[in-house]
Structure 1
């Protein structure tokens, strides 16, 4: 292993914010950039609710990626207002911004994200989902990129497929020279600054988005009520918060089947991530109006 305390004089280290409208693949991109799943992914938009730092380190640079919530322009409530504030806060003080857009799709929601970006920080345009059939046409894709470049003074452009991990190394190579020179901030084997407690919560939330309907997960949140580390075993107790009693029944499912499936898959993911056996208990609590309760959102860290 490289001893980063003896990093070269021209070693680079800095923060890179990953931004974009909901559902453009930011979290999937983050996971591929650091080579490990730490940020939740789903086909549903707006799954990311917290800023998640992922850390990539080699013998030339350390890139600290900040995965942000998708900037929300619809369904305004205290929760979404707070998520949008998280985006604004995340890009303040970073060294580079990666603006992710979907290949062949650029809309007003993307333009609203551009308006939130700091003016004196380089912004790299990353065109994702190039694996889609229409995006495979090089001429069509190039025409699309040229159109987006007219919207903003991007420092550089890269095309990737976050889903398939294509051209991820190219993006890292592109970003390195944009970082300031400096020593690493984190140990070389560290891939996130988030706690095991936080990651457990995010894994359960991902399963909720994967296995419930289009609307229900947005009326839910997750909180870890107890997290105990024993020799060879983690004991984790997680509550899922819903707005109404009727939502509780939908989540639990007939005979408890749905909640059991969510819990089992979450436990298996946790065991793979933590490298230890996990006892996981998940249950449902009704807390009406939690998404509009500013004080409660702060208690959840949102």
Structure 2
């Protein structure tokens, strides 16, 4: 792909937690790459998603939600991962929720003051607004806060205006050859994606019961002739959390494993044997050394 009209560049997706950043990425890619849930701060890493079309290649960077109030090492890590990317991309997409502007949105906006690339304001979740006439004053008010390159109302879940967004982004990317092959959709390893799938099932299965002090580590990933064997370790910080994750007679852990295994089989397109363990590792989420050992410095 060396056509002089071919476009290729990086697009950061930023915003406060639970704004639909991962949902938007998945919709743009046409596949599920980033894990999602209704729980804030589900995304913990920068996730690179690649979409190649006839005349261009988008390299989307999904980021953790920029937030305040969290003082643990993992909170600092997530904010660093989200904030650092905006200086190394060609376009920034700033997601906010329709009819709701918060102090954390202001925090994100402040980080954009030093950005010298186009910033597009995406007003998400417009499908949930019954009276669309309310949107115009809201959009006008937010538009005065920053010199946005464009402002677009969207619905990441329903796909409203997503194609129009893609068309607009193509006009902002530089002319360049593709960085990735046509069939590549991320730079993340399969082991990383498998760990994220398991963590998504944890979040969704446990809801508000699940503390943020939980992560997943792949201890073994082995492709055999007819099956892939995966052993994964779920880390928690207290014995009480371990009891919650395992559930009555192991029922909850079994449910998490069953749901994760199905998604992993869809991801790698082969039969999977998945074994899950739960281990207490006290204080891992507030230890820079522990976070590095668990791969939280890879971004």
Instruction: Calculate the TM-score normalised by the size of structure 2.
Output: 0.96
Q: Note the C-alpha offset of 1:275.
A: 1.1
SS at match of 1:257: helix
Q: Note the C-alpha offset of 1:9.
A: 1.0
Moved more, 289-298 or 227-236: 227-236
Pairing 1:74–2:66 present: no
Pairing 1:36–2:42 present: no
Which residue among 212, 216, 232 is the counterpart of 2:206? 212
Q: Note the C-alpha offset of 1:166.
A: 2.3
SS at match of 1:90: helix
Q: Which residue of 1 aligns with 2:257?
A: 263
Q: Note the C-alpha offset of 1:144.
A: 1.0
Q: Distance in 2 between matches of 1:217 and 1:262?
A: 16
The superposition leaves residues 101-158 of structure 1 with CA deviations (integer Å, 9 ceiling, x where unpaired) of 11111111101011122420110011111110xx243321111111111111110112
Which residue among 11, 17, 31 is the counterpart of 2:12? 17
The superposition leaves residues 198-245 of structure 1 with CA deviations (integer Å, 9 ceiling, x where unpaired) of 000000110111011425240211111111123342211110110101
Q: Count matched residues.
A: 295
Q: Distance in 2 between matches of 1:256 and 1:206?
A: 18
Q: Which residue of 2 aligns with 1:131?
A: 127
Q: Distance in 1 between matches of 2:294 and 2:200?
A: 17
Unaligned runs of 5+ in 1: none
Q: Which residue of 2 aligns with 1:91?
A: 86
Which residue among 268, 280, 295 is the counterpart of 2:289? 295
Q: Distance in 2 between matches of 1:136 and 1:273?
A: 37
Unaligned runs of 5+ in 2: none
Q: Note the C-alpha offset of 1:17.
A: 0.5
Q: Distance in 1 between matches of 2:130 and 2:10?
A: 31
Task: Please tell me whether the aligned partners of residues 203 and 266 of structure 1 are also in contact (alpha carbons under 8 angstroms).
Answer: yes
Pairing 1:229–2:189 present: no
Moved more, 30-39 or 221-230: 221-230
Task: Please tell me whether the aligned partners of residues 79 and 291 of structure 1 are also in contact (alpha carbons under 8 angstroms).
Answer: yes
Which residue among 48, 52, 56 is the counterpart of 2:47? 52
Task: Please tell me whether the aligned partners of residues 121 and 152 of structure 2 are also in contact (alpha carbons under 8 angstroms).
Answer: yes
Pairing 1:286–2:280 present: yes
